[in-house]
Amino acid sequence: MIVTIQKPLDEILDSISPYSNILIAGCDGCTQPPRGLREAKTLSQLLELGGRLRDKNFIFKVITVVKQCDSFLAASMLKPQVDGVEAVLSLACGAGVQTVAELFPDLPVLPVQNTHFIGVEDREGGILEERCSACGDCLLDLTGGICPVTRCAKGLLNGACGGARNGKCEMDPAKDCAWELIFQRLERQGKLDLLREFRPPRNYQLRAWRLTP
Amino acid sequence: MREGVILSEQITEQRVALKLNEEYCSSCSICSSLCPFEAIKRDAETGKTLLEIEKCQVCGICYSACPARAIDIIYYDCGSLLKYLERVKQEYDSDTLVIMCKGSAPDFVGIERLFGVSKFIPLSVPCVGRISEELLLQAIAMGIKEIYLLACDENYCRFGRGSPLTGRRILALNRLLEQLGYGREAITLKRNSLKVKADRDLCISCGNCAFYCPYGAAKLESPGGAEFDLDACRGCGLCVAICPAIALDLDNWERERISALISKLLSEMEQPKILVFRCQWAVFPPLDGELSPNIHAIDLPCAARVDAFHILEAFQKGIDGVLIAACPEEDCKQEGVSARAQHLVTRLRERLSQIGFQDRLHFCSVAPRYPEGFDKELRQFRQRIEAICSQKERK
């Protein structure tokens, strides 16, 4: 899932201050914590209260989209809603915001979230953690299902670096050393041989992907 | 010096909701055998009956069962319930009495449907287990012709034994009344429980309900959306308050009904307007009347049903302050739900602080065993809201 963190309300209020009629679009897709209809509604209520303190009356329309990053779905759900709207506030990740912005070239489409990473949610602990860097060259089959590109602070492909203390990373003692985890996992599976193989550097030229499915 | 110590002890001693009167106690142990919370025990050495007030949840079961009337309770005791009945009998112009457990009571229309009565005197109590035979007989003596009792489903009773006890009590009392010539079923007992309602068309399969439900009533086992086991649901409303798709609602406490209630209360309130969302197990409200002309309350089945949506709606409509009264974690009648409620309110408060509204929202944990706890919280909150409002006026 794409993990996002909502911008401070002040910043959002600043961004919408030139407009009055605003469409708030939630996204039921993968953004975590969920930014669906409830979040869109709550945000409209908070912004209305915040607006009043700035002597500004906003008129909000609130909807949610199944997946804003899908231009077909975003178009079919948003197009009927934009009449008379001066700006769209999107609760989606950066990809969703850009999809909607492309759909409505004449409308300002403003982000509500800062998009952080592809991660997992530990519901018990209430923690969201990064797990995937979308590098385009997956080696999880060789590393016991633990990604060193994302979880090793140095992004080493041939670890460990030797700096870990008690299984914790020397860069951030709150985090596990990814390479120690990989070692333990492979040992458990009897696949330590995989570590003997040298991995060449990744191709860092791969950026701004464009693919045909 | 010694006097000083005693004096300070007297000052700090809190008023409590329940007291055992040793002089009347015959040490029969009925109370200690019925107490669902093991708050009353018989001392093996002295034979005396002892109350541990910290464990007491003020359900009133012991009070209603004590043959020696050795237990004093400050909420809904027999005397004040009878006085209330006498007073409102004319107001409702009815000789039909409907006694409801707050935890399971639907609205007036629901009562009509359940019992087939349209005109009645409503009496809501925190548990029907506190209604003694004496009260029912006195009500009949007062001229009440029909009595209906609405209890929670037996396995759903928040006080464990209140609902089953009432069943046995009514059975015995009806036999007695039959012998006296009052017919076979002089008192009608029915059971009801409030449950979650799900609109699966709106479900986005996020799994929040399944993860947070303390009773395992919500399940997400296929991509088709969450499913609910209504037998397991205990109607706390936590899933309703957190569902990101607004796909859930709670019997009798539907979103729209609470919104309408907020609007109605608002129109009756004086400035500065304070709205209290009370967990019905945390604060036992007075039998009638509001707290004061500017403070009105909504009693919810659990603090978890307090929805960010309704708090913000109240502010939008012109409420100056919102107070939420919940049970302390260890007293929560639902499993750990009040702690979740506190977390949700804290999160909302953080967001309100970004627009300078945080002081208008307050969460407190109170227990009915210390009646002054809520009064104190309310007094302090009221002062705070008055200060905010007068500051605003000066500007």
pLDDT digit string (tens) for A17-45? 999 999 999 999 887 778 999 999 999 99
Chain A nearest CA to B347, separation (Å): 12
Q: ipTM score of the complex?
A: 0.86
* B170 in the same domain as B203: no
Whether B92 and B25 map to the same domain: the answer is no
Per-residue pLDDT tens for B26-70?
Answer: 889 999 999 999 999 988 888 889 999 999 999 999 999 999 999
- CATH code of B239's domain: 3.30.70.20
Per-residue b or e along A121-147, where b marks 16 or more CB atoms closer than 10 Å to that residue's CB? beeeeeebeebeeeeeeeeeebbbebb
Question: Who among B246, B316, B356 is closest to A38 (CB)?
Answer: B246
pLDDT digits (tens, 9 = 90+) for B203-236: 999 899 999 999 999 999 988 899 999 999 999 9
Q: Within this chain, do residues B261 and B388 fall inside the same structural domain, yes or no? A: yes
Joined tokens for residue B214: 């303390």
Which helix H or strand E contains B40, and what residues bound it?
strand B40-42
B355 shares its domain with B384: yes
- B174 alpha carbon, distance to own chain's centre: 28
Interchain proximity A39–B244, CB inside 8 Å: yes
**B203 plus B178 within the same structural domain:** no
* Structural domains present in chain A: 2-116 (3.40.50.2300), 134-196 (no CATH)
Q: Other CB atoms closer than 10 Å to residue A10's CB: what's the count?
A: 13
Last residue of a domain, one of B225, B250, B275: B250
Question: Quick check: A49 and B315 CB within 8 A?
Answer: yes
Question: Which of B201, B211, B311, B354 to mutate against chain A (most A CBs within 10 Å)?
Answer: B354
Of the candidates B73, B102, B117, which is a domain's last residue?
A: B73
End-to-end CA distance of chain B: 51
CB-CB under 8 Å, B246 with A42 = no
Q: A9 CB near a chain B CB, below 8 Å?
A: yes
Residue B365 has pLDDT above 90, yes or no: yes
Are B321 and B385 contacting, i.e. CB atoms less than 8 angstroms apart? yes
Indicate whether B366 and B339 sit together in one domain: yes
Report helix, strand or coil for B151. Answer: strand
pLDDT above 90: percentage of residues in chain B? 73
Place of tokens 């809501």: B124
> A34 contacts in B (CB within 8 Å)?
204, 206, 208, 244-245
pLDDT above 60: residue B7:
no
Domain C-terminal end among B50, B73, B96: B73
Residue A206, pLDDT > 70, answer no
Q: Are A89 and A81 in contact (CB under 8 A)?
A: no
How is residue B286 written in tokens?
């007075």
Find the residue in B nearest to A44 (Cα).
Answer: B312
Share of chain A above pLDDT 70, in %: 100
Residues B203 and B317 in one domain: no
pTM: 0.90
Same domain for B387 and B265: yes
| DSSP secondary structure, A135-182, as one string | -S---TTTTTT--HHHHSTT--SS---S--BTTB-SS-TTSB-HHHHH
Summarised one tens digit per residue, pLDDT across range A68-118 is: 999 999 999 999 999 999 999 999 999 999 999 999 999 999 999 999 999
Residue numbers of the domain that contains B98: 78-191
Residues B33 and B50 in one domain: yes
